[in-house]
Structure 1
Amino acid sequence: RIKNKDPSYIQKFWVGLMDGDGSIQVNHWRKKALQYRLVIKLRHCSENVEMLNLISKDIGGKVRIIKKNEFVIWVVDSRKSILKILKIFDTYPPLTSRLRAQLKFMLECFKRDDVEWYLNSRNSKYLTPTGRDISVDIDYSYFNEWLSGFIEAEGCFSIRQNNFHSFSIGQNDDKYLIDAIRNHFNIQSQTRNPYKTFWLIETYRVSTLHNIIKHCTEYPLIGQKLVSFNKFKDLIN
């Protein structure tokens, strides 16, 4: 499915998937030691298992089925492996303020290795406005691959009985990111704010949907979203 892609495709895609569905976690063990984890949690289905196995093969980490077969997770909990994998973010930084703040906090915990500091700082790790980026300079050299990973997590291909098919994608807090996706696909409709800090774009325009289909064909989805994309593509084309 990802034939002829450069070896870094999975890494760039993974950053987008982490931005959408992943988390960078620091916890403590009985207030004595710090524990570190990278996690992506998805609905359990063969396509998601296959995708996470691909990530595990290329990047590292283990894939497990949890909660009575309901979810599949990709997890890295060895400090050495985490440090190695975090280097990917040096080359392809995350684009959501949430993941950037989690990454910054984990790196600070690694540096200090101080449970006391962690316990005092964990509640403010990314809840304060100053701790989160209001906007990010987007590096477009990996944006296409990142975007496919992000669509895998947050995109929605809606098929409707009345033939008003649409594509939508949303995100908490980061309007700058939804605006960047809107510009990238040349979406005419405005970015909406349906509730609280959630930002969303949705497009029904056939010419725009063709742009999105072209993108997802060139930069393939590799999990469960590929199934809904293929059905969608057949209807639009």
Structure 2
Amino acid sequence: MKKLKKTELLESLPPCKAKDLDLSSPLNLSYFEPFFVGLFEGSGCISMGCSAAKGGNLSYGRLQIRLKNLPENVKMLQSIAKEIGGIVIYEKKQGIITKVVWFAIAQKNVARCLQIFEKYPFLTSQKICQLAHLKKCLQNRSWSYHLETRNFKYAQQKEMLASYKKDFVIPPYFGPWLSGFAEAEGCFRSTQALSFYICQNQDWYILNAIKRFFNSHHKLGINKDLRRPWLDSVQYRLSMSGKPVLEKIVQHFTKYPLYGYKQVSFQVFCEKFFQKQH
């Protein structure tokens, strides 16, 4: 991938303007696919299942995205099922639908997703490791192979983290990827002071890339999980505020729109932002 210069990270964007999305129009796959990858990296999961065919010893891949059951999220996952493949189901808790879930289990749908993941490679260390394990299991479909290797799927993660911390290259598709990732992990805070907040386990380099992308001066912080001190995991956070950075954030999500419920909170965020400009 070509390494972008700092001045190229944020392209020339149109003037700030809050607007509603028309999701009834045909989707631009050159945008929607990397958006899907970012969303999957934030809220998706890769797992293996065991087929009942041929003695029940063949493994297959399962992909899923679980989101809160809100109309905007339902529509977004239905768009993924329509344009990329898979199905959308609902999860109930005590008789009440609480989650909407996109599933890709059929081999043709998983294969389609793998093509997209090749075209727009994963950026987070955990998903990179999960995908590598999935590919190995699809080459050796014996269920016993998965059982023997699943505990080692993250064996290269620490080495990967150290490498990316030194030299992470922001890819050309980072803009739409970031919008999908923010749909899962981002938060538009507008109750008091305006800010955009995002956190990530382990992957310091991802938040640093987002910081660089918006030419932000804000420092990355650490969230300490006092409830589980035995876990060898660190959660990093990035909170960005101030007119110069917030203007770039508004411009970004106007050019690279959100498709789920985060679009609703973004609209509220924009209204508050524009009110402060008068």
Query: Normalised by the size of structure 2, how large is the TM-score?
Result: 0.79
Q: Verify the 8 A CA contact 2:200 2:207 in the aligned structure 1.
A: yes
**1:46 maps to which residue?**
71
What CA distance in whole angstroms lies between the structure 2 residues aligned with 1:98 and 1:140?
18
**2:249 maps to which residue?**
212
Q: Deviation per CA, 1:123-163, whole angstroms, max 9, x where unpaired?
A: 22125645755427445321100000001000001122xx4
Q: Deviation per CA, 1:32-90, whole angstroms, max 9, x where unpaired?
A: 23132110000001000011111111111111111231000010111232112211111
Code of the residue aligned with 2:244 in structure 1: it is S
What CA distance in whole angstroms lies between the structure 2 residues aligned with 1:150 and 1:158?
17
**1:126 maps to which residue?**
154
Correspondence 1:9 to 2:31: yes
- Local SS of the residue matching 2:130: helix
What CA distance in whole angstroms lies between the structure 2 residues aligned with 1:104 and 1:133?
16
1:148 corresponds, among 175, 179, 189, to 179
What CA distance in whole angstroms lies between the structure 2 residues aligned with 1:54 and 1:18?
14
Q: Against the structure 1 CA distance between its residues 25 and 132, is the aligned structure 2 distance closer, same or farther, given a 3 Å change threshold?
A: farther
What's the C-alpha RMSD, in Å, of the aligned pairs?
Answer: 2.0
Q: Against the structure 1 CA distance between its residues 111 and 96, is the aligned structure 2 distance closer, same or farther, given a 3 Å change threshold?
A: same
**2:102 maps to which residue?**
74
Task: Report the Cα offset of residue 206 of structure 1.
Answer: 1.7
Task: Report the Cα offset of residue 187 of structure 1.
Answer: 1.5
Q: Verify the 8 A CA contact 2:60 2:141 in the aligned structure 1.
A: no
Say which is worse superposed, 172-181 or 113-122, in terms of deviation.
Answer: 113-122
Correspondence 1:61 to 2:86: yes
What CA distance in whole angstroms lies between the structure 1 residues aligned with 2:182 and 2:34?
13
2:50 corresponds, among 24, 28, 34, to 28
Higher Cα Rg, which structure:
2
**1:164 maps to which residue?**
193
Unaligned runs of 5+ in 2: 1-20, 225-232
1:225 corresponds, among 262, 271, 275, to 262
What CA distance in whole angstroms lies between the structure 1 residues aligned with 2:136 and 2:152?
13
Code of the residue aligned with 1:175 in structure 2: it is W
- Local SS of the residue matching 2:97: coil
Query: Normalised by the size of structure 1, how large is the TM-score?
Result: 0.92
What CA distance in whole angstroms lies between the structure 2 residues aligned with 1:177 and 1:119?
31
Q: Which structure exhibits the higher relative contact order, with contacts defined as CA atoms closer than 8 Å and separated by 6 or more residues?
A: 2
What CA distance in whole angstroms lies between the structure 1 residues aligned with 2:87 and 2:159?
30
Q: Verify the 8 A CA contact 1:21 1:153 in the aligned structure 2.
A: yes
Give identity over the alignment, percent. Answer: 34
What CA distance in whole angstroms lies between the structure 2 residues aligned with 1:48 and 1:112?
35
Q: Against the structure 1 CA distance between its residues 8 and 101, is the aligned structure 2 distance closer, same or farther, given a 3 Å change threshold?
A: same
Q: Verify the 8 A CA contact 2:129 2:156 in the aligned structure 1.
A: no
* Number of corresponding residues: 235
- Local SS of the residue matching 2:100: strand
Q: Against the structure 1 CA distance between its residues 189 and 139, is the aligned structure 2 distance closer, same or farther, given a 3 Å change threshold?
A: closer
